Structure 1
């Protein structure tokens, strides 16, 4: 991987990680359009560390409260009903599905799931589900209503993002809207829930790549760029969701997915 490629892919990662349009799909597609080799699941997971650091900084006060209260609740039973202590447990519970499914389908994640036809279908299909959930879902629940059952359902939705094109934020926000959470509440839990999964996956890929196979300089540059751009995007998105809908993202996903199917069907792009 060259330095120009790293800059472009870092920008793409930062721009798309938090929007419900699938950053892993965009990294795969942009590389193909430029004639570059597939950056691979390892590169994607490592650069996502950059955008996840943006989440840690943006939610630093909330995360600090959750961690402190959760740790104290381990010693003090009276704190176990505290909302921040409960949120700590719910993030742990919601992270279980993606860990289990990620290990079970590790080989497919790095091969079959990165087929452009699979990505295109996922972009279109899950955009329509998001549209339905956003239009039909209730909006009267906030994070105080979160239960273990809801946490597991969010977690299953997050695990669907192992398929590029689904979108981690898109999948979890869609589930939140189906469960009746407001757009802002669904997004908040989506981003908090992603922290263990993204950091765990990223550091796992770093450890797995220590024997070679990764261009560390360009990858580090892409990760740094993804952090800076991602922080701007998450700040904008959460303000937008206070009054905006997901319809523009749905339209974009459908157009991109159909364009991909056309390009692959006409032979312009190779599916794998």
Structure 2
């Protein structure tokens, strides 16, 4: 958004509620006769809230506006269908479903006009020049095939593990907050704030005990500022500083959750 603004575009940022949820009515109200693109992520990469992109996509379609959704956090974890989401463009990243790092894919609905990403050769239907990363492309496709084939098995298991972790943390820690929507959320995401404790201190302490967590999104690694996501949700900066994210995957077990809690 900031890059587009620097290039002279008018950018409207739609607010979120205390759960990080975007209201379709707010999106509808932000549309003008000059709106050329609507972009809403399918699920937030920090707090795990799944956005109402189906309805937002319908609103975009009613107004004839291209709709892009970042589905990096959801593809391979929950069923995703571009027609059901009413999207014209959808982005994914292989490493989020155990594929190779450094490769992603962009779905472009037939008839959607986009500028080429990289000039030069005619690869990728004349949209991205350069030699194809065959190993990455095949790795992405195969990993996605495996992930989608396991969703019915892994999704309820991850939801159960996340529930076990949340319940255990709530019993053991005072002044804890669980962030994100309580129901519409990515399986395996547990995002917390502990009032009066720095997230970085918790991260280092857990790391010394062989527990991997994050104090924000990978996109903001190295930043000492409080999460812009939590601030947008209305959280005070001093509380937002005490946040960490647990992400559970297909290989995690109940024993590992209990190890964290102990």
**TM-score, normalised via structure 2 length:** 0.29
The structure whose residues are more often helix, as a share, is 1
Q: Which has the larger radius of gyration?
A: 2
Higher relative contact order (CA 8 A, sep 6+): 1
